[in-house]
Amino acid sequence: MAKSIIDIILPDLGEGISGAEVSEVSISVGDQLNKGDTIVVLESDKASMEIPSDLNGTVKEILVKTGQAIEVGHSLIKLETDNAQENKEKTKPRVDETGDKQEPLKQPSPQNTQSDVQLDPSSGDKTFSSPGVRRLARELSIDLSHIKGSGDKGRITKDDLHKHIKLQMASQRGVAQSINQEVDYKEWGSTEEIKLSKIKKITGRRLQEAWQTIPHVTQFDEADITKLDSTRRAMNKELEKKKIKITFLPFLIKAATHVLKSMPEFNSSLNHTGETLIMKHYYNIGIAVDTPRGLVVPVIKDVDSKTIVDLSIELMDISDRAKSNKLKPKELSGGTFTISSLGGIGGKFFTPIINPPEVAILGISKSIWENIYNHETKSSSPKYIMPFSLSYDHRIIDGAAAAKFTSTFSHTIEELSFKEK
């Protein structure tokens, strides 16, 4: 059969793209091409795309090089083919593995503006991969030069990238496991081994996972609760005969809910894809309760519709049942925001760990009386000051929003009237 050598040219790329830069040459002289094999990968300011061959044949000459800017109609390669007739069908940008066209890539940020044809520092060889793999690698800040490709001609596939991610995660787990390596503590003295309760083991795993997977940041602030203390004492005096004791916690729940309504991102959860936020239009507050078996977080539902007295009664009930292990499973789920109070114990500030899938948690410390100077009256007076901490998921909430939350919470505590009618 007669052979002929033809030029494979760059076809119309569509979407108003008249030209692009060659980011990868995927073939070599002498390669046997099958229809659909990638010749080059192009990058433009609008898209990343693979240009395939529409013919079977042998590569006789490569007419482009990496980094070269080419336009529609430019010859890419010379191909020797058994098909003597000219190819009337223009080559088109390849669709990805899902059958969809490659979507335009966003312009990379300055820290990611590296060539997509990366060099292996040890060998100087080019690292080949599809636009989809490179896009994912950029999003995850993964250097493809550290991955050995298993595809044709050493091409890095999605499976290669996924395996690399799993190895990195396993390596991190290995570091954590190495901390817990077996040690014979009896070498230095007498010891006793106590078995952890089931709750402590479950809580420990959840806290470790939350700490390792959520980028925590903690904001610290204080609130003047002098007025609130007077209100609480007056209410307790009125309710003395009903044997209802009101602590600060119901007021803090109310104040937190007031702020959550004005700053709904703190009452949200990150979708499992990591690409959207679930905005919740209900307010269920988890309260950390210390029990003999370990920490549990029962949830008070629809706190915005309950009074201070309602919350006080419910708090006493769930606290007692938590300590006697009588809580129902549904009472431990559905929270949108958590409060952990150490006010009855001590300490000034601490870093509470977020309770997933929530995005923030409020930590309350022990209130103390301080002599506060007033610049307006140029005098000092005793104030009851409550320190508190807000830990938040930095993927969702930035520092400015967190500072606004703490200042608004402080102002709400100081100014909002909680007096029951």
d(CA 98, CA 47) in angstroms, rounded, equals 17
d(CA 388, CA 366) in angstroms, rounded, equals 9
| Cβ neighbourhood burial of 338 (10 Å; 0-12, 13-18, 19+) | buried
| Cβ neighbourhood burial of 53 (10 Å; 0-12, 13-18, 19+) | buried
How far, CA to CA in Å, does 89 sit from each of 53, 55, 292, 294? 11, 10, 76, 71
Answer yes or no: are the C-beta atoms of 164 and 133 closer than 8 Å.
Answer: no
Catalytic residues: 394
3-state helix, strand, coil in the chain (%, to 5): 30, 25, 45
Nearest to 42, CA basis, from 2, 98, 1, 91 = 91
Long-range contact set of residues 119-125: C-beta below 8 Å, sequence gap at least 24 = 119/145, 120/145, 121/145, 125/154
The residue to which tokens 């090089």 are assigned: 65
Backbone phi and psi for residue 377, each to the nearest 5 degrees, phi listed first:
-90, -10
Structure tokens at 351: 């870093």
What is the 3-class SS of 119-184, one letter each residue?
Answer: ECCCCCCEECECHHHHHHHHHCCCCHHHCCCCCHHHCECHHHHHHHHHHHHHHHHHHHHHHCCCCC
